[in-house]
Structure 1
Amino acid sequence: MARAQETFGKKEREKKRLKKREEKQKRKEARKSNATGGGLENMLVYVDENGHFTDTPPDPAKKVKIDAESIVLGIPKKEEQEPEDPVRNGKVSFFDHSKGFGFIIDSENSEKYFVHVSGLIDEIDENDKVSFELEKGMKGLNAVRVKKT
């Protein structure tokens, strides 16, 4: 039977592996010797009245008493509003006839709304003044029932 040959490369890899193991052991011992105890008190973190983390306990004089009944759980009820006019006015900022879509800028709030050729009543072009209604689409509000004004 042939014996496994000890080549120079194998010896070097073995030396590196042993050296790494020794360095790791030294680092472990150094961490143990430098470790400062202190227990739980050194690990506690407090939150001050502004919401920032601090290592000092909060001042009991600054504590605010909150009545549990005053906390409202859930969504507050909507206040009654007058019904908003569903027809809006705007200006066509972009429209591509070959692709069949464009965008309308609302004259009241300067919001941009997507418009598709299927939502048109009249033929529109860029810079036309239009009236339209809004409808929820897949990616937000879409302009539908678009007419020239």
Structure 2
Amino acid sequence: MAKSRVTFNKKEKEKKRLRKKKEKEEKKEARKASSSKGAGMEDMIAYVDADGNISDTPPDPDNYEEIEADDIEISVSKNMASDDEPSERTGKVSFFNSSKGYGFIEDEQTKDRIFVHATGLVDEIEENDRVTFETERTPKGLSAIEVKRIDK
């Protein structure tokens, strides 16, 4: 009679491989069972209350507050010039580079540094000059225009 070529070690390896395959299938089934994928829409909805906190309960419809669309302001900067401000301001030139043609004016009232370009100058200016100017809103912020030097 001939001896079997399957050794004990080969049998153990085959058993171990089958056991791992079975464990992998069981884990896959467990993941499918506990998965929230495909759960109802109600489980995925989150609500924001009046204080800005996120909750899973819908807000009370009796507490709704009507807001006009015109009252909503989006991306308004803190330093936005309001309509009641005077159009002409005074300030001191804190920096000006005449070769490059730009500088900054420090506003006397708000202490803001406002950009000034040589194209917005009426008179020649230098550092530490007192000036009067108007501002305009640009994509990068406030810019000084109509800059005039005040005689000392």
Q: TM-score scaled to structure 1, two decimals?
A: 0.57
- What is the Cα-based RMSD across aligned positions, in Å? 3.9
Alignment correspondent of 1:118: 119
Alignment correspondent of 1:96: 97
Question: Which aligned pairs between 1:56-67 and structure 2 lie closer than 5 A?
Answer: 63=60, 65-66=62-63
Alignment correspondent of 1:128: 129
Letter in structure 2 aligned against 1:75: D
Alignment correspondent of 1:74: 69
Determine if the alignment matches structure 1 residue 28 to structure 2 residue 28.
Answer: yes
Distance change >3 Å, CA 54–CA 86, structure 1 → 2: closer
Structure 1: stretches of 5+ with no match in the other structure: 1-17
Q: Give the CA deviation at 1:97.
A: 1.0
Q: Distance in 2 between matches of 1:143 and 1:118?
A: 10
Q: Give the CA deviation at 1:95.
A: 0.7
Q: Distance in 2 between matches of 1:94 and 1:140?
A: 18
Per-residue CA shift, 1:96-144, capped at 9, x if unaligned?
A: 1110001111111112211111111111111211110112334222111
Distance change >3 Å, CA 84–CA 118, structure 1 → 2: same
Q: Distance in 2 between matches of 1:82 and 1:49?
A: 31
Per-residue CA shift, 1:83-106, capped at 9, x if unaligned?
A: 543110011111111100011111
Distance change >3 Å, CA 135–CA 63, structure 1 → 2: closer
Q: Secondary structure at the match of 1:43?
A: helix
Alignment correspondent of 1:5: none
Q: Give the CA deviation at 1:46.
A: 6.8
User: Are the aligned partners of 1:45 and 1:54 in contact in 2 as well (CA < 8 Å)?
Assistant: no
Q: Distance in 2 between matches of 1:24 and 1:53?
A: 38
Letter in structure 1 aligned against 2:118: V
Alignment correspondent of 2:7: none
Aligned residues: 118
Letter in structure 1 aligned against 2:69: G
Letter in structure 1 aligned against 2:116: V
Sequence identity, in percent?
Answer: 40
Alignment correspondent of 1:106: 107
Distance change >3 Å, CA 72–CA 45, structure 1 → 2: closer
